[in-house]
Amino acid sequence: MNDNQLKLLEQRLGQGSYPAPAALRDEVLSQAKRELRATRWDRRLLQSASVLLAIGIGLNLLLGLDHKSPRRSTLAVAPSQQSLVQTAVAIAETTDAETGRRFVRQIAFINGWTLNAEQTAEIDAAMKRQANPSHL
């Protein structure tokens, strides 16, 4: 490009703006509006997802805190001592007597229970049945 052509280009650019054809201008404006509407929907979806995430985190925290509260223990159904004995008897019958005894002692200790003589006798009777299966 020589100096004459460069000067001519500078003069044309300096003369002012060249208006775009009306059809092109309308097309560009409609596409710009469409992009702006899409951006609004993206923002709305992002806000909705953020709100749902915050609700989910809040519910998880609430359940986690509720799990540690003393009120939760009254809502949960703890296994009864009788079901513990029945489970220990089943373990003693399927494995061995010592495993049944250990199991029932550990679970009773965890739940803060003490086994009475009747429960201990029931476990021992089941263990005797396990030792002498011919008497069934």
In-domain check, residue 15: no
Which range marks the domain in which residue 82 is found? 77-131
pLDDT tens string, the chain, 136 residues long: the values are: 688 888 887 877 777 666 778 888 888 889 888 888 877 778 888 888 888 888 888 888 887 775 555 554 444 445 576 777 778 778 877 777 788 788 888 888 887 878 778 877 877 777 777 667 665 5
**Within a domain: residue 45?**
yes
- What whole-number distance in Å separates Cα of residue 31 and Cα of residue 35? 6
Model pTM greater than 0.85? no
Tally of domains within the chain: 2
Residue 85, SS3 per DSSP: helix
In this structure, the answer to whether residues 87 and 58 fall within a common structural domain is: no
In DSSP notation, 12-38 reads: HHHT---PPPHHHHHHHHHHHHHHHHH
Residue 116 shares a structural domain with residue 93: yes
Q: Is position 3 within any domain?
A: no
- Which residues touch 111 (CB under 8 Å, ≥6 apart)? 78, 79, 84
Question: Residue 13 domain-assigned?
Answer: no
Is residue 82 domain-shared with residue 127, that is, in the same domain?
yes
| Residue 6 maps to a domain | no
